Amino acid sequence: MKGNMKKKRMDFAGFTLLEMLVVLLIISVLILLFVPNLSKHKESVDKKGSEAIVKIVETQIDLYQIEKNQTPSVEQLLKEQYITQEQYDKYQASKK
């Protein structure tokens, strides 16, 4: 009986080192699977953002033509505040 009682005292409620290593391995594999997908999504979002800026600038060109009966340059749109500096910069970068 005494040997049985000693054994019960030695039982700990917790995780073994092996269990912790298995959990870390699983987490590492999941991270390796998801990180490349996140970078692909970032590229796609950046591309869609650039396309949206181009559409905004083209729409502003159309509005300018309707209002003033002449075709403006992008610089003219910026000067007359039809577009922001940030939109201008992104539009120029997307045209390169």
| Predicted local confidence at residue 38, as pLDDT | 79
| Predicted local confidence at residue 11, as pLDDT | 64
* Residues 6 or more apart whose Cβ sits within 8 Å of residue 94: 50, 51, 53, 54
Task: Indicate whether 49 pLDDT > 70.
Answer: yes
- Single pTM value for the model: 0.59
Distance CA 57, CA 95 (A): 12
Q: Where are the domains of the chain?
A: 44-96
Rounded to an integer, the average pLDDT of 20-29 is: 95
| Predicted local confidence at residue 4, as pLDDT | 55
Task: Indicate whether 5 pLDDT > 70.
Answer: no
pLDDT classification of 36: cutoffs 50, 70, 90: confident
pLDDT tens readout for residues 61-81: 999 999 999 999 999 999 999
Sign of CA dihedral 57, 62, 66, 72: positive
